[in-house]
Amino acid sequence: MTTSRSRSFLSNVVKAETISETAFVYFRGKLQNDIHVLILTAFLRSGLSQKELAQRTGKSTSVVNRWIGATGNWELSSIAELLAGMNAQLKVSLDFFDEKPLFNLTRSIQEPAKPQVLDDDPLWTLQRKNFGNPVDAHP
């Protein structure tokens, strides 16, 4: 008898050399469901009827009914148009399974953050040219 615990689903994904098709099916379905919930929330909050939303987006009522009625494999442009018709937009963020920070953000609370100035960085030069030097603006 083994006493080790079975690894969680996400732990298996993190440690897998090749992610299984079952995991991909799960993640596709979860994303589709999450987007559908957001669209339903925006629709209910908008107070629009499906007919009014169809008029605002230039889509047929049957297309809007299909979008509102069930999850789907929507194109990003369709999501953007539908949400814009409800005066909303989608904010996107990432959650990492392994919870490792992207950057080391630890520093003393009393020590103010100082921007790193790279004089030879073309993007920094362009920003400084167009918006002034933020280092000079904050003593």
**What integer pLDDT is reported at residue 123 of this predicted model?**
53
pLDDT at 3: 44
pTM of the model: 0.61
Better-scored residue on pLDDT, 11 or 42 = 42
Q: What whole-number distance in Å separates Cα of residue 54 and Cα of residue 58?
A: 6
Q: How far is CA 59 from the centre of its chain?
A: 25
Cα separation, 64 vs 42, whole angstroms? 13
- Cα three-residue angle 34-93-72, rounded to 5 degrees: 25
pLDDT in tens, 50-97: 999 999 999 999 999 998 888 888 899 999 999 999 999 998 888 777
Q: Judge whether 40 and 68 are in contact, CB under 8 Å.
A: yes
Q: Which domains does the chain have, with CATH numbers?
A: 9-85 (1.10.260)
Q: What is the pLDDT of residue 97?
A: 75
In this structure, are residues 97 and 10 in contact, taking their beta carbons and an 8 Å threshold?
Answer: yes
